[in-house]
Chain A
Amino acid sequence: MPTENLSDRRMSKFKNKGKEPTKMRDRRIAECVELRKAHKVEGIMKRRNISSVGDEEPLSPEYNTDNKQVISEAIQEIVANVNSDCSEKQRQGCQAARKLLSRERNPPLKEIVEAGLLTRFVEFLGRNDDPTLQFEAAWSLTNVASGTSWHTQQVVEHGAVPAFIALLASPMLNISEQAVWALGNIAGDGPSYRDALIDCGVIPALLARLTPDAPVGYLRNLTWTLSNLCRNKNPFPRFSAVQQMLPSIIQLLHHSDKSILSDACWAISYLTDGPNERIDVVIKTGVLPRLVELLGFEELAVVTPALRSIGNIVSGSDLQTQAAIDAGVLSALPLLMRHPKSSVQKEAAWAVSNIAAGPCQQIQQLITCGLLAPLVDLLRNGDFKTQREAVWAVTNYTSGGTVDQVVHLVKCGALEAILNLLQAKDAKTVLVILDAINNIFLAAEKLGEVDKLCLLVEEVGGLDRIEFLQNHENNAVYRAAQALIEKYFSEDGGDQCLATEATDSNFVFGASDVQKRFDF
């Protein structure tokens, strides 16, 4: 089947007869260019603290403006106060800055940085004598660090990291919490700051605060920061760091708070989004049964990362996938495939597509656990992204499944459903479907039922669609369609010749004289 000339990694790993069968699993492609809005369901990379303190007055109206003049004057005043030697004024300035940085819309992050305030704020972090000042400075810096990479960089380059790590141990819970938060923002910026934090010993300092009596709000922040320390690839966080964090993350996975559960799940999902040895580390903790349990939760915020983690794990080796199956994932998936949210359906279909890429024993388990009916439903009625994943599931299934298994899938209605999807406005999906059709034909060949299959394809309007694809602008699609038509739907075949010596009337018979030893 003409699957050559495809740059996509997923396609290049696609199993073909005679190719290495274990390479079929789909990896989430790293660092992909995105056209879409940043995904709403992903874990949050950075957060700004926009709460207000207890009985504090709301932001005065003159601060809540986009008028440059007003903002600039306000910042002038803050600079004056912060740079003064009077603690009271410092506190006042710091608080004003924090309020500005905490307003809902357009906080003047850049203006604050450019006013040169960060040096002072970082200095204030060390003022154990003045907890209020410490707190206000920590809050301000947290919010600056929640901005773009440039903003985070400003905070780090002003030396905030060691100061925040030291603050983790602060006896004042609100200060420690603010430090946790700021460090979370810094860790969320990317792999290099994440590793810088790890090098500075952030993990033991954080874990030291993970005590049974810690309040839920505090634990939420802590979990989120831990999840950011697990996050990002190229490179991944080093193994020793992961090993340090994992027991605590597993512990948090058993907490009753939804938000904690969600971030702990996200942490697991980041850790499993990598090569098989990364996945192994997670599986060895024995977390799988709990993850499967979490798949059954109502809260989307928990289900989404739990499902993502499971999806990542079943994209690993056959053994890792089997571990997930043994933990019961196949009984959880049908419900998720029928989940009201299409994003969940899509992730579930993705997981199924990877399980279908496994050996035929695992495919058999898909059948036994009743996943084919919901799969065909998704092919028929899912939204486009879900259908696309479901199509992959069919293609993987048909290339790795036994003849009987393929027949079973066709009987469940998958063939008709994918033939309908040949109208999809996406060249890759169409090509993947053509591949599945080819696989199904190969199975039919083994059964001597090609003619029957031809009729079936034609009956449901598939032949028309495949013929139509011979006009497709995409070369690979048109060649694949043409190959199917030529091989199965046309009666003509042909031959080809090589040259041999000949005169006008005869071919010359006789072996050339060059004698060499035959050795086969």
Chain B
Amino acid sequence: MELNDRNLQTLTEYLQKTLSPDPAVRRPAEKFLESVEGNQNYPILLLTMLEKSQDEVIRVCAAVTFKNYIKRNWRVVEDEPNKISDPDRTAIKANIVNLMLSSPEQIQKQLSDAISIIGREDFPQKWPDLLTEMVTRFQSGDFYIINGILRTAHSLFKRYRHEFKSNELWSEIKLVLDTFAQPLTELFKATIDLCQTHATDINALKVLFSSLTLISKLFYSLNFQDLPEFFEDNMETWMTNFHNLLTLDNKLLQTDDEEEAGLLELLKSQICDNAALYAQKYDEEFQPYLPRFVTAIWNLLVTTGQEVKYDLLVSNAIQFLASVCERPHYKHLFEDQNVLTSICEKVIVPNMEFRSADEEAFEDNSEEYIIRDLEGSDIDTRRRAACDLVRGLCKFFEGPVTGIFSGYVSSMLTEYAKNPGVNWKHKDAAIYLVTSLASKAQTQKHGITQANELVNLSEFFVNHILVDLKSPNVNEFPVLKADAIKYVMTFRSQLPKEQLLEAVPLLVAHLQAESIVQHTYAAHALERLFTMRGANNTTLITSTEMAPFTEQLLNNLFKSLAIPGSSENEYIMKAIMRSFSLLQEAIVPYIPTLIGQLTHKLLLVSKNPSKPHFNHYLFESLCLSIRITCKANPDTVNSFEEALFPVFTEILQNDVQEFVPYVFQVMSLLLEIHTSSIPSSYMALFPHLLQPVLWERTGNIPPLVRLLQAYLEKGAAAIASTAADKIPGLLGVFQKLIASKANDHQGFYLLNSIVEHMPTDSITQYRKQIFILLFQRLQSSKTTKFVKSFLVFINLYCVKYGAIALQEIFDSIQPKMFGMVVEKIIIPEVQKVSGPVEKKICAVGITKILTECPAMMDTEYTKLWTPLLQSLIGLFELPEDDSIPDDEHFIDIEDTPGYQTAFSQLAFAGKKEHDPIGDAVSNPKILLAQSLHKLSTACPGRVPSMLSTSLPAEALQYLQGYLQAATVQLV
């Protein structure tokens, strides 16, 4: 591509077309540009256009296209062709800085981005003159140019803030410091001088203050990794000026905007960050300056208003104080009672006040308000920062701080009492203050777990919280009501049970409040109270204690779902689930109504599932209804099926992906309740469950395996008689699952159920294939998890079909196969089997191999007999071997699935552990003793001689113990 007018013209036309809203025009143009971007001069043509085109739109478009081109192509990837020719690279680097600086702002930004992308690859080695070129421009005196340079430098250097230390990185920083630090310092000083010269020129000040902010950001990046010698030597200059800037106010720079932070705020925030960086990392060198900064920042806080635009500045400033006041050698800066008092009065209390912005959020954006207030995602809010400062101060001054605040709390409450309608915010602040002061440790599960002993939480509850909860008009002062509910929730572990019981019916009443925040908090508080544990690990609040309120509770919960804005409120649904779980059989009378409401809800949300948590708890609630009701009366399972199957069918037919795994779990639960044969409605569905498309979705696998297991348990005979042609498909599922390292255990679950429940004849023809598949997998990728499952399976097989059957089928696949498996797999690995049922299966299986398999006594396998016995004794007596070989160490990470496919397991659809051996063998050690005894009487003399020649003494001793316990002797 030559650099000529015709090519410029062509490119201009295509660029124009890429802006077309019509895809038929736009797409081909984009394709064309992509097809020519590999040509030499293409980027130069773009740069020419963005510099010279008459059309403003084309210039910007060329700039964006250029930046994207650089982003895609600049990096040279090893073993891939270099996508930009070397002459083009050189030309770009030679011109881009100039071009950026002479371009209007929109284009400048794109080019600045492009420079930092190039810089990331080429700087410093392949772009040695970039820095000097930049530094030279500092002398231009043109702050438009200077800010362009500073922005570019910032995008080049900001990675120093998060990269790991390395010689390469530090060499680069050193180089940057050598060239850049001195000029930057000079520029800093000059800019500050200019601010004085132009103190009355608002336009000049704006430019100068953006420079200062950028310079401060660069300071942060350059000082992040370690304290550079240059900045240590020039600390006086920088810190004195930073300090002056913090205390500076200029009326001209104050903005009217309440939301957006102004230049002054941005600069001061950055300076607070810089001071915090030095205080944290370079304490020794920074010590002389620190007290000055504490005072300045403190004054700043006292004089800064409540507007949202100051939020970042204020929270940064408070965080600075919070981090300093915890350090022992700065304790003295805070310990004076007057200092503490004014920090409390002027910094903490004002920043805990409920602002109009909070009020708006409470009313109009309740979801966000709840997340921020309840779940603590309020890292940068003023309230959070103020709380952190309270906690910091309490480290050394808990007594005095509590004293000071108690004074404030009572005066605020007095104010409120004078005129609640006007002064309700005072009470809100008082409650917040008490909460922040009292809480020393907190978790979602338990609320506050450690409280400040100097605060009497119970008394405050009685005097100030209960009144609001008891107020007859639930819709009056919703913020204070929400505060009161939150207080109960927060301090639930600290309040005595009587007070909680007193609160419960009041909370139930608040479920009907119109305010979303308020009834959500009520639901959440009830849910939390119901999870609390009392003595003996039972729930603190019992079903009996709830009896008087049960009906009201269930009514109000479901009614609150009808309040506008709460139709899919996850807190309410979770409270429903928790109430069911607590009340147990007390809900049975209400189930006919409740199940109707739940299925109706399910039908509605399945049209467009949008709240995963809500949906999850909805299914949990369904499971609970089923379990609780059917526990009392298993026959009711049919009525649940009648109610649920129409919705389930719709979900499965419409393939509502989010819900399918849930439906399978609920169906498993229902099917497992059936005591007689499998209903025909289930059998009709059976072929569909084997469809490969269902198994492609990883979230379906665990619930589907479980459902198939339920089919096998209840309907193995029916499958064998009416659906024998589906058996290969069923085994196909097994085959697919064991091919995956992540799912092989699921494949074994299925296989175990097949072996356990299917009539022998129906699977005889497939047995050999099954083992061949297992051996193939063992051969190709043997992992610990697979081997553990494999061991359980072959022993289960042995228990079911006998040791001879096992030996014969192995040896029919390959001569001496049985011996190889015993020697290479069973003996060395059986110690790794985990789980009591799994261990029991292996113990019984191995006992059979030892005592019921003639080949073990009479062929060359005999040499394995004693080692196998020894490993069985090891399984009984030694701790489980949980070691994982080196090369498997990272398998878990590789196989960690992405979130989107996660399987959502329902806790209340849970399955009891199944023991296929059950009571047939209660003590496997006794079984071993008895079986050995039987074997020894069949061939007298041989067993004792094998034991005495090669079984280690320790193992022998254990064995003697078993024999004694079984009161048998070997002959």
Contacts and interface: CB of A to CB of B under 8 A. Distances in A.
Nearest to B742: A496
B443 interface: yes
Q: Interface residue tally of chain B, by bracket? A: 35 or more
B715 interface: no
A46 B885 CA distance: 53
Given A37-B232, A493-B903, A505-B690, A425 B732 contact: no
A400 B171 CA distance: 34
B735 A473 contact: no
A497 B449 contact: no
A455 B897 contact: no
Interface stretch (A202-210, A270-278, A509-517): A509-517
Nearest to B728: A509
A427 B739 contact: no
Given A35-B228, A492-B902, A384 B895 contact: no
B470 interface: no
Contact of A35 (B173, B735, B814, B898): B173
B162 A518 contact: no
B690 A506 contact: yes
A369 B370 CA distance: 50
B600 to A, nearest CB: 27
Q: Interface residue tally of chain A, by bracket? A: 35 or more
A459 B281 contact: no
A402 B886 CA distance: 20
A511 B170 contact: no
A363 B449 CA distance: 32
B731 A474 contact: no
A443 to B, nearest CB: 13
A36 B817 CA distance: 68
Nearest to A383: B283
Interface string A90-110: 000000000000000000000
B779 A518 contact: yes
A384 B280 contact: yes
B903 A495 contact: yes
A512 B735 CA distance: 11
B327 interface: yes
A506 B687 CA distance: 9
Nearest to B693: A504
Contacts of A473: 159, 161-162
Contacts of B699: 494-495
B752 to A, nearest CB: 17
A496 B895 contact: yes
A507 B162 contact: no
Nearest to B319: A423
A504 B173 CA distance: 60
Interface stretch (B59-67, B219-227, B499-507, B551-559): B219-227
Contact of B691 (A38, A458, A504): A504
Given A33-B171, A35-B173, A509-B732, A497 B779 contact: no
Contacts of A17: 884, 889
B769 A509 contact: yes
A425 to B, nearest CB: 6
A511 B897 contact: no
Contacts of A8: 164-166
A19 B778 CA distance: 25
Interface string B710-734: 0000000000000000101101111
Given A8-B165, A35-B225, A459-B449, A504 B901 contact: no
Residue from A7, A502, A512 with most neighbouring chain B CB atoms (10 Å): A502
Given A33-B171, A473-B161, A520-B779, A497 B696 contact: yes
B743 A497 contact: yes
A500 B732 contact: yes
Nearest to B444: A458
B89 to A, nearest CB: 27
B808 to A, nearest CB: 16
B417 interface: no
A263 B947 CA distance: 70
Contact of A494 (B226, B824, B898): B898
B450 interface: yes
B164 A503 contact: no
A36 B897 CA distance: 44
Interface in B685-707: 687, 690-693, 695-696, 698-699, 701-702
A497 B736 contact: yes
A516 to B, nearest CB: 8
Given A18-B884, A518-B779, A33 B167 contact: yes
Nearest to A420: B326
A342 B286 CA distance: 14
Interface of A: 2, 6-8, 16-19, 31-38, 342, 381, 383-384, 423-428, 431, 455, 458-460, 464, 468, 472-474, 476-477, 483, 486, 491-500, 502-512, 516-520
Interface of B: 159, 161-167, 170-171, 173-174, 177, 224-229, 232-233, 277, 280-284, 323, 327-328, 376, 379, 441-446, 449-450, 687, 690-693, 695-696, 698-699, 701-702, 726, 728-729, 731-737, 739-743, 746, 766, 769, 772-773, 775-776, 778-779, 782, 813-814, 817, 820-821, 824-825, 884-886, 889, 893, 895-899, 901-905
A-B pairs, top 5 by smallest CB distance, nearest first, are A507-B732, A494-B897, A506-B729, A502-B692, A500-B736
Given A35-B229, A425-B161, A505-B691, 13 more contacts: A35-B174, A35-B225, A384-B280, A495-B903, A497-B742, A498-B741, A500-B735, A500-B736, A504-B691, A505-B690, A506-B728, A518-B814, A519-B779
